[in-house]
Amino acid sequence: MSCMELGKVAVMLGGTSAEREVSLKSGAAVLAALRQAGVDAHPFDPGEKPLSALVEEKFARIFIALHGRGGEDGTLQGALELMKIPYTGSGVLASALAMDKWRTKLIWQAAGIPVPEYALLDADSNDLDFAGIEARLDLPLFIKPACEGSSIGISKVKHPGEIAAAFREAAKHDRWIIAERFIDAGEYTVAILEEAAGMRALPVIRIVPSGEFYDYEAKYLRNDTRYLCPCDLPAEKERDICALAVRAFAVLGGRGWGRVDFMLDTAGNPYFLEANTAPGMTDHSLVPMAARTAGIAFGELVLKVLERASLG
């Protein structure tokens, strides 16, 4: 599409979630790329302006670079549907499902997508059997909020008796907490990009953090996290996992673009963790990294995503 056909574009960034700072960086990178390409693009921070201004300022389409609640959980998508302004990424249902790690797991299990063994904990409950969870899932294990991103509130529990403290940390961010079995042979991610021919998986990235796991600091602040792309998987294994990742994204109703994270066990079996429907676009982000390996420059990637903006 030409820049004229794209019209006036709002880059949604910032917001009010716990991922505001990351979103500001993602949005700034997207905005710069669009302007460099000649698109009439403008920043729009819903943490500072009412959504009604989108109509008043006559925006033709929206590039969503918001992360977390209020940006990728279906609420913004629902508002844009009512205003009839096309937007990037997944629709209301897929966005809401992907933000909720527990309900994502339920759907994946029903569809035959492998997920790590887990337990769902209620922060409002006074009867939690932490010792029983340790016995069932083994150590180490992860404790995480069901509806947060960017590894906010996640802890890796390695020693007996540590679940309670990890649970209290996660409960600062959500009522529902997931205890998840640790899969121990590597963390990977698959970026997904919708094109005219359908959903396309970009090259798999293996993530090798220098610390205990791929936490917020490793994602955004450290420079010693290693990213292997091409990854270390045999070509046939990578193709099979990519096909499964596209299916995992599709069964949630994902569209436009996204990212699916998984881990491998020592036998080489994948276990899917979560889907991200508004991935980061910072200088540390994974989708641009995979796109570069596939021969897609950052500016081209941003335009591809924007061109797929839609309603419904």
What is the enclosing helix (H) or strand (E) of 121?
strand 118-122
Q: Compute the distance between CA of residue 137 and CA of residue 142 in angstroms, rounded to an integer.
A: 10
Q: Compute the distance between CA of residue 18 and CA of residue 21 in angstroms, rounded to an integer.
A: 8
Listed in sequence order, the residues at least 6 apart from 146 whose beta carbon sits closer than 8 Å to its beta carbon are: 100, 101, 102, 120, 174, 176, 177, 178
Q: Compute the distance between CA of residue 49 and CA of residue 36 in angstroms, rounded to an integer.
A: 25
Give percent helix, percent strand, percent coil of the chain, each to the nearest 5: 35, 20, 45
Q: Compute the distance between CA of residue 257 and CA of residue 241 in angstroms, rounded to an integer.
A: 17
Do strands 205-208 and 187-195 pair parallel, antiparallel, or not at all (unpaired)?
antiparallel
Active-site amino acid positions:
19, 150, 220, 259, 261, 274, 276, 280
State both tokens at 37.
């390409």
- Cite the beta strand spans of 225-295 per DSSP E: 226-228, 257-264, 270-276
Q: What's the Cα-to-Cα distance from 123 to each of 118, 146, 169, 275, rounded to whole Å? A: 16, 11, 11, 24
What SS3 state is found at 234?
coil
